[in-house]
Amino acid sequence: MGKAEPSTKTIAILAMPGVQLLDVAGPLDVFAEANSQAGEAVYRLIVLAGEPGPVTSSSGAQLLPDHVIGADFAESIDTLLVAGAPSAHVVEPAVEVVAWLKDVAPSTRRYGSVCAGAFLLAATGLLDGRRVTTHWGVARKLAEAYPAVTVDEDAIHIRDGRLRTAAGVTAGMDLALALVEEDLGRDIAMRVAAQLVMFFKRPGGQMQFSRKDEAVPAGRSALQELQRWVAANPALDHTVASLAERLHLSPRHFARLFRAEVGITPANWVEAARVATARRLLETGHDAPKQVAAQCGFADADTLRRAFGRHVGVTPAEYRKRFRG
């Protein structure tokens, strides 16, 4: 490949073994469509790999990179993105790749990650003191592994100086569209969104897709049986005293035991179980929020709305509009 013209911005996406194919293909399609809408090659698109040969994705499909990173790769990069992989949070990053990113990323106009690619970028130290996002399923793991990084679990994508990070998978397309808007303006970005049948600005954050806070039974068998009973009867008045009585324990001992074995307070678990039931009712039924609230044990529609906001990030009405089958 020849070098890009000075007016052309080189967009490079680093794909490691096990990469989520859509983390690469999604943003590339957005930039390619921007070229089409602009009527010129605004972007030159390349895929980078850490070693020679095809990159096997998480789906098994193979991706043929344009270049291998290292001393021999000297092309100027405008925007560098690190694609994610489902295993990124458990795989030890290659020392050479981390060193290359640490050296090259600061020399670009902007750099960032898509989905769990944030783990590889965080290993360089370049995210320390920055606000970032990643897939909701691994956001807490990222925050625990890199405490110097501020992780926003709800954001679809975040801009922090020259750093750009996107949430899970398809959010890489939202990020790419935001970059197109930065470079080429709102009109072209909106035409790209229309052509790709995607939101220009996606409504809500990624909490509405998250299932991480669903109330899953945990702890000893007696506690799990109690939790299953609560989930099956969310409309009942589940106070600490009433739950403790079912297990023939004092309220104080029950609350302490529950917190120690389940990881949250009984009240928080009950609320999560009620919200999970409300989500299912909103996805499949036609009852008004007031009726859903009553069926799930919430005092009224306002109480349901506040709990829904804490767990899901949108109102019950917005959730039903987007997710009802």
Catalytic (active-site) positions: 115
Of 253, 260, 258, nearest to 273 by C-alpha is: 258
Yes or no: say if 33 and 192 are a contact pair by the CB < 8 Å rule.
yes
Q: Identity (one letter) of the amino acid at 249?
A: L
Taking the C-alpha atoms of residue 227 and residue 185, their distance in angstroms, rounded to an integer, is 52
Taking the C-alpha atoms of residue 83 and residue 68, their distance in angstroms, rounded to an integer, is 15
Which residue reads 């990020």 in tokens?
175
SS3 state at 266: helix
Bridge partners (DSSP) listed for residue 80: 12, 111
Which residue reads 């970032």 in tokens?
132
Yes or no: say if 13 and 48 are a contact pair by the CB < 8 Å rule.
yes
Q: Identity (one letter) of the amino acid at 91?
A: V
SS3 state at 214: coil
**What does the DSSP 8-state code read for residue 49?**
E
Tokens of 299: 């005092």
Taking the C-alpha atoms of residue 172 and residue 180, their distance in angstroms, rounded to an integer, is 12
The H or E element containing residue 110 is: strand 110-114
CB atoms within 10 A of CB 2: 5
Yes or no: say if 100 and 70 are a contact pair by the CB < 8 Å rule.
yes
SS3 state at 199: coil
Yes or no: say if 313 and 205 are a contact pair by the CB < 8 Å rule.
yes
User: How many degrees, rounded to 5, is the angle at CA 53 between CA 29 and CA 66?
Assistant: 40
